[in-house]
Structure 1
Amino acid sequence: MIRLNTTWYLYYGRKLGMNEHEVLACPLGRMLDYMACMQIENGADQKVYAELDELANIR
């Protein structure tokens, strides 16, 4: 498993068109979301954690 560090964030940020300052200022969760969207765009399967009916029953 690859451990994501600052170098990987800069790499993915550059692929997304962000400059170094934007990547370093971006919150971790948002950067991971951007990376997941990029992976889905490139053919990865989206992980579904719950069905719509299950989410509706939470209330």
Structure 2
Amino acid sequence: MLPGSSTLLHAGQDVAFLTYLYRVVAHLVAFGGIAVLVYSLVRGIDALPLPFVAGRDTDESER
């Protein structure tokens, strides 16, 4: 890894305020993006008409 390419801040590391702010925002955006992807994946799986899901009636002729 290249020196200075890590976004991890260490105690006593001298960084400009805007650099620090950028790193914090980048971490928040990355975490939010991962959360949105997981949420979308779970919603997509939940919307699939899977016949083996508990509580779901698979026989349409009984209605």
TM-score, structure 2 as length reference = 0.27
Task: Identify, as 1 or 2, the structure richer in helix.
Answer: 1
Higher relative contact order (CA 8 A, sep 6+): 1
